Chain A
Amino acid sequence: MTSSPAVVIAGLRHSYGEREALAGVGFELAEGEVFGLLGPNGGGKTTLFRILATLLPVQTGTATILGHNVATEPDAVRRVIGVTFQSPSLDPKLSVRENLKFHGMLYGLTGAALASRIDELLSRLGMADRAKDLAETLSGGLKRRVEIAKSLLHGPRVLLLDEPSTGLDPGARHDLWTYLSQLRAESRVTVLVTTHLMEEAERCDRLGILDRGQLVGLGTPAELRGSIGGDVVTLETGDADALAAAIREKFGIEPQRFGGALRIERTAGHELIRDVVGALGEQIKSASLGKPTLEDVFIQRTGHKFWDDSEPVVDPKKKSKKH
């Protein structure tokens, strides 16, 4: 942690009418760190992202990027941030180069300086031979690369990426993250990335878990994993209620329930498995023992599975994209 954080968020609240999307969120990003924002859809990630990108007004609380207040100095903030949106922002009818050129001009870049900057980014992202192609002819992965190039044109010091690997195959995702690490190493760019992929979360320096508008976890991936006591025991069963009751009675442990499965965090999980299977074997379909993963942390902190969309989630910013 350096003395002057790159991003400071404090007491941030945001409501869409009755629904509270952010219920008092606060954390800091050190300069040059890759910070992952993890959370289910509707958890508040996108709202927080849009506030930092100066696209949503600040209702309560403050957000500062490199000392510039997002609410009162949006233009100063816009100059230092590079934004990659989850939904595409390329003009499909323009070539890759034209997309970059017109975007660079919005940031006051022009002429030879802009042209050489575009060449540099295109070759770094392995897109030099596609410069003349229309954006609409590119594959999803290549489009993403152009989006990234677009957000880097003006040399931003803070990069905001909203689910950057949406629509990327594993290879392209790997390339993206290699590039992000390079960028951070070379130019100490601070990166805030929202994701719902655990393997991406593992690659971040620190993570924040956002659920129902609140920060329910903050730390390095190792710290978060370490916060769970030892092992995770998962029991598959036909009747979760009965098994949970039996375990509660026999062992004095309160298991967490997920559909047809029970989950117990324990040190010395192997002993617990042995005892539980010995005592209640006929009720158990399968038992497994694992070291805690980030997904386990997520489950423990939020009380639901990552992909559990059982509660209806309405995101007012999601507009239909096709007409």
Chain B
Amino acid sequence: MSAILPIWSLTQREIVRFLRQRSRVTGAFAQPIIFWVLFGVGLSGSFRMPGAAEGGLSYQAYFIPGIAAMIVLFTAIFSSISVIQDRNEGFMQGVLAAPVPRSSLVLGKIMGGTLLAFVQALLFIGLALLLKATGLVTLEFSLSLGRFVASCLLILLMGLGLCGLGFFFAWRLDSVQGFHAIMSVLLFPMWLMSGAFFPSEGSGWLKWIIAINPMTYGVAGLRRIMFPESSAALPSLAVCFAVTALFAVVMVTIDTLLARRPQT
């Protein structure tokens, strides 16, 4: 009990804070749609799903898991930036001086970001399904209830892992600018190299980068759940879930150890 209430407190705060910042809300919902539409239109001509010469996936459909992953990544980035802001604005010192287990602090912060990412990703998937239902766009995309639940689970696990990764970097930084560097050289490339944007079939070193990128397994898992018939080359669903869950557990553990260290 004494560990859960603080988690819920910090999680709730993240959500209230998010909803209160109008521009953040607008940006969070508009940006993925803009990316989806623009890249979809721009790349649909030059893009061919391998092994699917006819009747294959349109880029719009191919890009859905990638956009879902991008939503999770960007929300994780915002959540991590708020770790730095909490420290600079002074909010964090109040939490640190409270009898809160450091694991609760980490989980509260990470779960706030994860839930926000989750809801946004669901809204995006819902929008895609809605567009299909209205017949405005032809999308080869549908989800059974079971597949929907599996997607939700995987998105939550991805959220924990990515928010945890962001926390790891943000905890020791005292400037948002410093975090932007991490974002551009590590986090954003992680998304590009995850199969979200283009099929992960590079050769040589690129292949290795894709293989060791934990985000690859989240994206591949979503793709397997959403488009099972055109995912033959991807890791199995069990591997995707296992790697994504393991990454989340490892990140939360590392973050907790980090937060336990005294702040000198």
Using a CB–CB cutoff of 8 Å, the interface residues on chain A facing chain B are 16, 53-57, 75-76, 78-79, 81, 83, 85, 87-94, 98, 101-103, 105-108, 110, 134, 150, 319-321, 323
Contacts and interface: CB of A to CB of B under 8 A. Distances in A.
Given A57-B264, A106-B9, A323-B176, A91 B100 contact: no
16 contacts: A55-B96, A78-B97, A81-B97, A83-B94, A85-B94, A91-B91, A94-B16, A102-B13, A105-B8, A106-B10, A106-B99, A134-B20, A319-B174, A320-B88, A321-B88, A323-B176
Contacts of A76: 99
B89 interface: yes
Contact of A150 (B16, B21, B94, B264): B94
Contact of B98 (A85, A103, A110): A103
A92 B89 contact: yes
B97 to A, nearest CB: 5
Given A55-B93, A91-B13, A323 B99 contact: no
Contact of B2 (A54, A88, A98, A108): A108
A196 B212 CA distance: 56
Contact of B93 (A16, A89, A93): A89
B221 interface: no
Contacts, number: 91
B171 to A, nearest CB: 14
Contacts of B10: 102, 106
A79 B16 CA distance: 26
A79 B99 contact: yes
B31 interface: no
Which size bracket describes the interface of B in this complex? 20 to 34
Nearest to B7: A105
Contacts of A323: 88, 175-177
Given A94-B20, A323-B176, 16 more contacts: A16-B264, A55-B263, A56-B262, A56-B264, A57-B262, A83-B94, A85-B90, A87-B93, A88-B89, A89-B93, A89-B94, A91-B17, A102-B10, A106-B98, A321-B89, A321-B90
Contacts of B2: 108
Contacts of B8: 105
B5 interface: yes
Interface in B80-110: 88-91, 93-100
B214 interface: no
A105 B5 CA distance: 6
B81 to A, nearest CB: 10
Interface centre among B9, B94, B262, B264 (most CB of A within 10 A): B94
Nearest to B98: A106
Interface in B114-133: none
Most buried by A among B2, B93, B177: B93
A94 B17 contact: yes
Nearest to A319: B174
Given A105-B8, A108-B1, A89 B264 contact: no
The winner among B5, B8, B10 for most chain A CB atoms within 10 A is B5
A152 to B, nearest CB: 13
Interface in B4-59: 5-6, 8-10, 12-13, 16-17, 20-21
A78 B105 CA distance: 15
B94 A105 contact: no
A235 B236 CA distance: 88
A87 B176 contact: no
Nearest to A88: B90
B128 to A, nearest CB: 31
Contacts of A150: 94
B1 A54 contact: no
